[in-house]
Amino acid sequence: MPRATLRSLLLAVPLALALTACGTADADKAGEAKPQAKETAPAGGAHQHTVLEAEIAANGGETKVGEYRVGYIVEAAEPWFQAEQDGQGGHAGHGKLVNREPAKDETHHIEIIPMEAATGRIVPDVPIRLEVVDAQGQVVQAQDLNFYHAEFFHYANNFSIPTAGKYTLRATLQPPAFLRHGASGETPALSEPVTATFTNVELKPES
Domains of the chain: 44-178+189-203 (2.60.40.2480)
Please provide residue 101's backbone torsions phi and psi, each rounded to the nearest 5 degrees. Answer: -80, 155
pLDDT of residue 126: 98
Alpha carbon distances (Å) from 115 to 57, 67, 155, 180? 16, 9, 11, 16
Residue 38: per-residue pLDDT: 63
Beta strands (DSSP E) in 33-164 are 60-65, 68-76, 80-83, 97-100, 108-116, 128-133, 139-144, 146-148, 154-159
Give the number of other CB atoms < 10 A from CB of residue 147. 13
Backbone phi, psi, residue 59, to 5°:
-130, 20
Q: Give the residue among 66, 55, 58 at the shortest CA–CA distance from 116.
A: 66
Please provide the size of the chain in residues: 207
**pLDDT by residue for the chain (207 residues), tens digit each?**
544 443 444 444 444 444 444 444 444 445 555 556 566 668 878 899 999 999 999 999 999 999 999 999 999 999 999 998 765 555 555 679 999 999 999 999 999 999 999 999 999 999 999 999 999 999 999 999 999 999 999 999 999 999 999 999 999 999 999 999 999 999 999 999 999 999 999 999 864
Enter the pTM of the model. Answer: 0.77
DSSP helix/strand/coil, 43: helix
pLDDT at 94: 63
- How crowded is residue 71: how many other Cβ atoms within 10 Å of its Cβ? 24
Predicted pLDDT of residue 102: 97
